């Protein structure tokens, strides 16, 4: 699926507009091992916590329509950040194609938290003039005894990033639904302010 949009780069914007205003491409980024694929699997309904059908568009691309605040929204979730087989281009691709981003770190891994800041800067550089919706995601909140990054630090970082913050646990499925609803709301906020 993503190969198709990659091979004809200029068609990306065409595809987005064809999708209409309620279909968003959301990209998972963050250090290896923080739980991106686990979050994607929940979204994909592997554990069936979100009750609607998910279409698997490719190895690491998932599509699902959610009802958020009485309005449906389709998310195309890309989890290809760690896909080394495809080569380096995939990260540049990820930085370019998202309508919104989930920057994930693990609360048990300070290095992954620091990496999240780097990614925020990279993203800002890659998409300079755009006001891209981002949620900073502190995953593995169930591992309380291994915590290396406090909630306050995560929150403060999000203030600096100018983005939203949430702690999740893919393992016990805490706040995962809220995360995907949250990103839809963030996209809508920007859409609505543009219309005014």
On the CB side of 171, CA atoms within 13 Å amount to: 10
196 exposure class (CB count in 10 Å sphere: 0-12, 13-18, 19+): exposed
Q: Is 169 in the site for ligand GDP (CB under 6 A)?
A: yes
Closer of 4 and 84 to ligand GDP (Cβ): 84
Contacted by 65, from Mg ion, ligand GDP, none: CB < 5 to 8 Å by type = none
- Contact flags string 44-73 toward ligand GDP, x per CB under 6 A: ------------------------------
Q: Which residues pair with 54 in a beta bridge?
A: 64
Q: How far is CA 67 from CA 12, 94, 106, in A?
A: 25, 26, 28
Site for Mg ion in 160-189 (CB under 5 A): none
| Residue 130, helix vs strand vs coil | coil
Q: Is 82 in the site for Mg ion (CB under 5 A)?
A: yes
C-alpha closest to that of 42 among 155, 182, 180: 180
Q: Is 154 in the site for ligand GDP (CB under 6 A)?
A: no
Q: Is the dihedral of CA 12, 13, 18, 20 positive or negative?
A: positive
C-alpha closest to that of 86 among 3, 27, 10: 3
Contacted by 92, from Mg ion, ligand GDP, none: CB < 5 to 8 Å by type = none
Tell me the window of 32-40, 70-78, 119-127, 179-187 that interacts with ligand GDP (CB under 6 A): 32-40
Closer of 36 and 120 to Mg ion (Cβ): 36
Q: Is 117 in the site for Mg ion (CB under 5 A)?
A: no
CB of 94 to ligand GDP, least distance (A): 13
Closer of 25 and 36 to Mg ion (Cβ): 36
How is the chain split among helix, strand and coil, in percent rounded to 5? 45, 25, 30
CB of 176 to Mg ion, least distance (A): 15
Tell me the backbone φ, ψ of residue 30, rounded to 5 degrees: 145, 165
Interface positions with Mg ion (CB under 5 A): 36-37, 82
Interface positions with ligand GDP (CB under 6 A): 32-38, 82, 139-140, 142-143, 169-171
């Amino acid at each position: 699926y993503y190969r198709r949009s990659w091979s004809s780069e200029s068609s990306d914007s065409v595809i987005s507009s064809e999708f209409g205003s309620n279909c968003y491409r959301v990209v998972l980024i963050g250090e290896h091992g923080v739980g991106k694929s686990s979050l994607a699997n929940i979204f994909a309904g592997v554990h069936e916590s979100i009750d609607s059908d998910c279409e698997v568009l490719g190895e690491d691309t998932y599509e699902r329509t959610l009802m958020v605040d009485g309005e449906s929204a389709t998310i195309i979730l890309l989890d290809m950040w760690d896909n080394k087989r495809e080569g380096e281009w995939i990260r540049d691709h990820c930085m370019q194609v998202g309508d919104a981003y989930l920057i994930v770190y693990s609360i048990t891994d300070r290095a992954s938290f620091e990496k999240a800041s780097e990614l925020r800067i990279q993203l800002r550089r890659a998409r300079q003039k755009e006001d891209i919706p981002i949620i900073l995601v502190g995953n593995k909140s169930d591992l309380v005894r291994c915590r290396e990054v406090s909630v306050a630090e995560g929150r403060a970082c999000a203030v600096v990033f100018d983005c939203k913050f949430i702690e999740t646990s893919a393992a016990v499925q805490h706040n995962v639904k809220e995360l995907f609803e949250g990103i839809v709301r963030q996209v809508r906020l920007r859409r609505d302010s543009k219309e005014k």
